[in-house]
Amino acid sequence: MKAIIPAAGLGTRFLPGTKCTPKEMLPVLDKPVIQYVVEEALDPEEVDDAIIVTSPGKPELLNYFQPDRSLENLLRERGKNAYADAVAHAGGMPVDFRYQYEPKGLGHAIRSAADAVAGENFLVLLGDYVVPNRDICDKMLAVSKEHGGASVIAVAACSPEEVSRYGVIAGDRVGSLEGFENAADDEPGAVLANGDANECLVTLAKCVVFAFGFSFLKVNVDGEFTFATKVALVLGFHQE
């Protein structure tokens, strides 16, 4: 099973910081964001490879995941074995790359890696979103198996003040939401009532897509392959 990580965007919301450094390479403590995402993607035992979809203007991503023996040797000569091990770990991760040559949306970026998936179910994790725990992918795969290989989207509660930063989930709630016992059944988008403040469910930029999902990405919407629209088609397919 493969994990597709779209990382071809320009990072405009992080300018000017991303003018010279891709947003996926911005550091969080001692590692760039993209390494956290790759490690999360590779955590489930079913996943054997991470496919990063990038653009030709981001060579830093490719360089980061390549081995650097000279740097490793230099660090070991200076007695900095822990740093050498960290460099070796990053350069030895099972990461492959595909290129999105035109900015045609998230769906188009995912479709650019279609050849690597070869008819299998696959994971999608955006390359700039990190969560504290690395067990979300395992949980999504477990839910998918319980429902015959269905597509699964990870969601979280979000306050109205921050909702513009995310994609909001819409639809009817057909089952219980773990941890959200007070969710209103009759509210579209599974709106939650927390005292005086309403919370919406938003995507966590992580999902499991079943193998036929690529067939839905062939539909062009306003010149872009809008992934959210295609996920809706995929979910509708499972309900038929």
pLDDT digits (tens, 9 = 90+) for 56-98: 989 999 999 999 999 999 999 999 999 999 999 999 999 999 9
Domain boundaries of the chain, sorted by first residue:
2-239
State the alpha helices, DSSP H only, in the chain.
33-42, 59-64, 69-77, 81-91, 106-111, 114-117, 136-146, 213-216, 227-239
Query: pLDDT per residue over 34-64, tens digit each?
Result: 999 999 999 999 999 999 999 998 999 999 9
Residue 88: predicted pLDDT: 97
Q: What is the pLDDT of residue 160?
A: 74
- The single-letter code of the amino acid at 187 is E
169 vs 198 pLDDT, higher one: 169
What local confidence, expressed as pLDDT, does residue 84 receive? 97
DSSP labels, 154-219? EEEEE-GGGGGGSPBP-S---S--TT-TTB-TTSTT--EEETTEEEEEEEEEEEEE-TTHHHHTTS
What the block records as the tokens of 4 is 């597709």
CB 34 within 8 A of CB 51: no
- Partners of 52 in beta bridges: 5, 97
Residues 141, 46 contacting (CB under 8 angstroms) = yes
**pLDDT at 207 > cutoff 70:** yes
CATH topology of domain 2-239: Spore Coat Polysaccharide Biosynthesis Protein SpsA; Chain A (3.90.550)
Share of the chain above pLDDT 70, in %: 68
Question: Above pLDDT 90, what percent of the chain?
Answer: 31
pTM of the predicted model as reported, rounded to 2 decimal places: 0.77
